[in-house]
A and B are shown apart, each in its own frame.
Chain A
Amino acid sequence: MRKVSRLSRFNVASLALGLAFLYLPILILVIYSFNASRLVTVWGGWSLRWYHEFFNDRAMIEAAWMSLRVAASSATIATLLGTLAAVALSRGERFRGRTLFSGMLYAPLVMPEVITGLSLLLLFVALNAERGFWTVTIAHTTLTMCFVAVVVQSRLGSLDRSLEEAAMDLGCNPVRAFVAVTLPLIAPAIVAGWMLAFTLSLDDLVIASFTTGPGSATLPIRIYSEVRLGVKPEINAICTLVIALIAVVIVIASLASKLSSSQGESAAPL
């Protein structure tokens, strides 16, 4: 608390400006989601009408359900693959081409989504895969795996290598040592990585629209197509729900990450 009081007026002003820049639009969206009026820009008093409307909108609910399923499955697969990659990268210090491998793993972090989406579309077309739930899930796994790897690898990097050696010294074979000592210690980072992957998948519009098929639109796709026909107040309500969900997940992820860093010596990301 003492730190806050030490902020100068300039700091306070710039902080307020920055936060306003980030959150004012969202705040307005949240407020208008409780608007009773049919017109998006006219305030007509408080109401839960549009939330009610959303829960009766079958197509929208289906899209939301699809999004949640895609997010959960792709996050799970990405966490598994990302963790394995992170372990390989931080353990196999001496293997050839390690730099190239880690570079290739992290490239999707900075790759424009349009390119990722387009290349995946071409792949699925070439494979003659029926586009729908699984193609979107695979595409999102590709997108989010590297984020998981980054989170887990930085945790592994801060972990004392001699812990695993001590476990081996005390009678564990290398696999046992990993499961008994390393895994519990990096578990918070793995959880954080899963949450991150989940929210990224839930957010994504570009890659999903490239890789999805007819009848299996995700929530962002659905919202986007609705908005093109004019913004209905219902969209505000849906967006508010999504924001709430993501906020909860991100808070859990950062708590998990904090827990992870308080157990070890140095901090994990997030």
Chain B
Amino acid sequence: MAEELPGTDVAADTAAGDAFPVAGQPLLRIEGVAKTFGTFRAVDGVSLDIKAGEFFALLGPSGCGKTTLLRMLAGFEAPDEGRILLGGKDIAQALPHERPINMMFQNYALFPHLSVRDNIAFGLKRAGMARADIATRVAEMVALVKLEGLEKRKPDQLSGGQRQRVALARALARRPQLLLLDEPLAALDKKLRESTQGELMELQRRLGMTFVIVTHDQEEAMTMASRIGVMKAGKLAQVAGPRELYEAPRSRWIAEFVGDVNLFDAESRLRDGHRLVIGTRDAGTLVVAEPREPVGAGKLSVAIRPEKVKLSRRGPVSEAGRETAINRLDGVIADICYLGGTTTYKVKLDTGGIVQASVANSARLDVDAYSVNQNVVAWFTPDDCMVLPS
């Protein structure tokens, strides 16, 4: 190791916050990073700041470059262009063992010939920590991930959830400035995944550490992360908090990728005060609130999340609906999908399109439920509509 980067001092005291650089400064700054494999541009000019103590998620479909970006942070790939600054120091070309960053691998990559204890102690021994300190730290880590009593087991004698914990403990043991998690929960079943999500968040808060997680699961990203970077074809499409990402996606593609959405292509548009009146082929004329950022001249789509679409037998009671510009679409129920907590209705509109409405099943008895072929009115307010460039 040529020189110690800040925070590589794994023997430092327990208070995790101490190791972090000046507050306010981003801990990690990614500047115009690009990586090409052959002719395929896996990561194409990504710039991003991550603050200390953040839980950041890189979200995207497979092949979008999120894993390549993570591997560049870990040091397994060197970027072709750009800089990666950690605490102000360029680490883009540093080797993995020279970085105060640890990674939790997707398949955990536990050493099969070593016990749980030796797996966790592996990085500490390499750092030249004293024997007694290693024992203390390992015990601390084992307690942290609740693996007491399993220290002597080999990885193949553990369940999937236990292996995941060992991998986490091993990655945390060196007290990295930055912990990278590559699809950490992909191998777990749904129930275990949900409880582990909660534990990861709680752990991150308690240790005050910076986590960067890669996932293709938008629900997982929304649940855990304080900020999400959505990647598409090697570029960051949007960086935002979960709520903003869901309620104000920047493009049609993001709206479709994050959650379900009804989409209608705009054929004409008219300005009416603070509203836009948009003509669509499938859903007739829709009145939508003007977005904060003015829309360009390009093609537009109107998007409405299914849970924002209300259903009723007669439409909004007030006939002033027209006046307050509530969008009402007449149609018949075409399909019903009961999901337990909610029911999704597909409404075939008289204008030809289909709109999905997600209704909470707030009463146990189905007195309010609709049936197939029933005439209904689907309605929503202008504020519930998003206007997106296609």
Which residues of A line the B interface, CB within 8 A?
160, 162-163, 165-174, 176, 180-181, 184-185, 263-264
Given contacts A184-B113, A185-B113, A263-B113, contact A171 B174 (CB under 8 A): yes
Interface size class of B (residues with CB under 8 A): 20 to 34
Contacts of B97 in A (CB 8 A): 168-173
Measured CB to CB, the closest approach of chain A to B90, in angstroms, equals 19
Contacts of A163 in B (CB 8 A): 109, 111-112
Measured CB to CB, the closest approach of chain A to B343, in angstroms, equals 43
Q: How far is the CA of A165 from the CA of B70 in the complex (A)?
A: 13
Measured CB to CB, the closest approach of chain A to B163, in angstroms, equals 13
Q: How far is the CA of A180 from the CA of B111 in the complex (A)?
A: 10
Q: Please name the 3 residue pairs, one residue from A and one from B, whose CB atoms are nearest each other, closest first.
A: A171-B126, A170-B123, A166-B109
| A-B contact list, 28 entries, CB within 8 Å | A160-B107, A162-B105, A162-B109, A163-B109, A165-B74, A165-B76, A165-B96, A165-B105, A166-B103, A166-B109, A167-B122, A169-B96, A169-B97, A169-B103, A169-B123, A170-B97, A170-B102, A170-B122, A170-B123, A171-B126, A171-B174, A173-B95, A176-B126, A184-B113, A185-B112, A185-B113, A263-B113, A264-B112
B113-126 CB mask vs A (1 if < 8 Å, else 0) is 10000000011001
Q: How far is the CA of A92 from the CA of B76 in the complex (A)?
A: 15
Contacts of A165 in B (CB 8 A): 74, 76, 96, 105, 109
Q: How far is the CA of A239 from the CA of B102 in the complex (A)?
A: 59
Residue of B101, B113, B170 ringed by the most chain A CB atoms within 10 A:
B113
Q: Which residue of B lies closest to A174 (CB)?
A: B95
Measured CB to CB, the closest approach of chain B to A240, in angstroms, equals 39
- Please report which residues of chain B, range 60-110, place their CB below 8 angstroms from some CB of chain A when the two chains form the complex: 74-76, 95-97, 101-103, 105-107, 109-110
Measured CB to CB, the closest approach of chain A to B106, in angstroms, equals 8
Contacts of B96 in A (CB 8 A): 165, 168-169
Residue of B76, B101, B123, B126 ringed by the most chain A CB atoms within 10 A:
B126
Q: Do A166 and B111 touch across chains, with their CB atoms under 8 A apart?
A: yes
Q: Do A162 and B107 touch across chains, with their CB atoms under 8 A apart?
A: yes
Contacts of B103 in A (CB 8 A): 166, 169
Contacts of A170 in B (CB 8 A): 97, 102, 122-123, 126, 170, 174
